[in-house]
Amino acid sequence: MDQKLLEHLQRVSLSMFRKGFFSIFRGSISARLSPTRFIINKQNAVFDSLDEGSFIVLQDKLDYRWQESSMDTPIHANLYKYFTEARFIAYARPLHAIAYSLNHEDLKPKDYLGYSMLGSKIEIYDPKNYKDWQDRAPVDILHYLQESKRRFIFIKGCGIVVYHRELQSLLKVLDLIEGSCQVLQLANMTDYETDERFNV
């Protein structure tokens, strides 16, 4: 296992945990090693203290080792197979973004950074039925990313899947989406002049 890559994934995972993009056991991060091989966290990985034993190297085709890996492994494998430019993938679950997605069909950033770097409108993908989402996710996410030409998908009630050539760029996308959702929620909370809760 490439020690520098492992250390890089450890640092980024800890940063994502501290930002609230990962919870202790929830989320996934991976890196491409070759056209058909990638490294991904195991299903019991604790994201604020990852070590070499927290990761597993897999082929992009299903085999017995997938039983140890993250439940998101089929999503990562599918994206690596069809997006040759994908070097890193993460499935993050930032709380403010997830909370925002429950009551909105799209994200329209109002903060400068969000608007200038993400665009004026981001669709929030509705997975419809949670019961079979885990089975449908690898194909549905792939199709959405192919059609949208984006490197990320913002999924209602589930989180954000993003791929990129660089880990820092991947982190930036997550931070911008979470930040824009947080700003909008804070702005809504302080808009007391039109809020009937403050009527006396």
Task: Quote the pLDDT of residue 198.
Answer: 43
Chain centroid offset of residue 156 CA: 12
Checking if the pLDDT of 142 tops 80, the result is yes
- Measured at the CA of 177, the angle between CA 174 and CA 178, to 5 degrees, comes to 80
CB proximity list for 78: less than 8 A, separation 6 or greater = 138, 139, 141, 142
List the structure tokens of 59.
């082929």
DSSP conformational letter for 168: H
- Measured at the CA of 34, the angle between CA 31 and CA 36, to 5 degrees, comes to 95
pLDDT tens, position by position, 84-137: 999 999 999 999 999 999 999 999 999 999 999 999 999 999 999 999 999 999
3-191 topology per CATH:
L-fuculose-1-phosphate Aldolase (3.40.225)
List the structure tokens of 86.
């994908």
Query: Domain segments of the chain: what residues?
Result: 3-191
Nearest to 166 by CA among 89, 114, 94: 89
pLDDT tens, position by position, 149-158: 999 999 999 9
